[in-house]
Amino acid sequence: MKKRIRIIAEKIIEDSFPLLKGKRILFFVIYLRFFGFSAWIPPFMRIIVFSTRTKALDDFALTGIMAHELCHQERYILLGVPRYLKFIVSYTFSDACRTAEERATDRLTIEKGYARQLYELTLITHNDKKHSNIIDNYLTPEEIRSYAESIGKWNITA
């Protein structure tokens, strides 16, 4: 699974994430109720964790998760260390902050050309009871499609 994740990540970074080229990102696969998360331990340790539950997903949906998590990493770079540390506190304790971050990350994922992959992933997560506590933090399938169409990214597959 880690090899599959690494291959997908390398392709996406090469194609769509110039800020992440040359950055060391550690990937872990563990059991989680949800599909994945990203973290940065400044200054250099970048981590993306995938759930063992993602093994059942096809590469298209897995690309949707990877693009979303890489967008978090890009957003962290743009924040810089002081703002990122403040952000982590807010993200931990504020539902509004979590929702704003996840929706902004979904929009960035779409802007980078991964709307269809994110859409497929979101159809899966919306039918997964283990995601029921966090699903409202993310764009809905309808919002993904609407935003992608509005910026001309719906018919693009990265």
User: What's the pLDDT score for residue 135?
Assistant: 78
Per-residue tens of pLDDT for the chain, all 158 residues: 999 999 999 999 999 999 999 999 999 999 998 899 999 999 889 999 999 999 999 999 999 999 999 999 999 999 999 999 999 999 999 999 999 999 999 999 999 999 999 999 999 988 877 666 777 899 999 999 999 999 999 986 65
Looking at the 3D structure of the chain, how many domains does it have?
1
Q: Does the CA dihedral 86-97-147-21 come out positive or negative? A: positive
- Start-to-end CA span in the chain (Å): 22
Does residue 157 belong to any structural domain of this protein?
A: no
- Rounded to two decimals, the pTM is 0.94
- Tokens 């994110």 identify what position? 118
Domain span at 123: 2-150
Does residue 120 belong to any structural domain of this protein?
A: yes
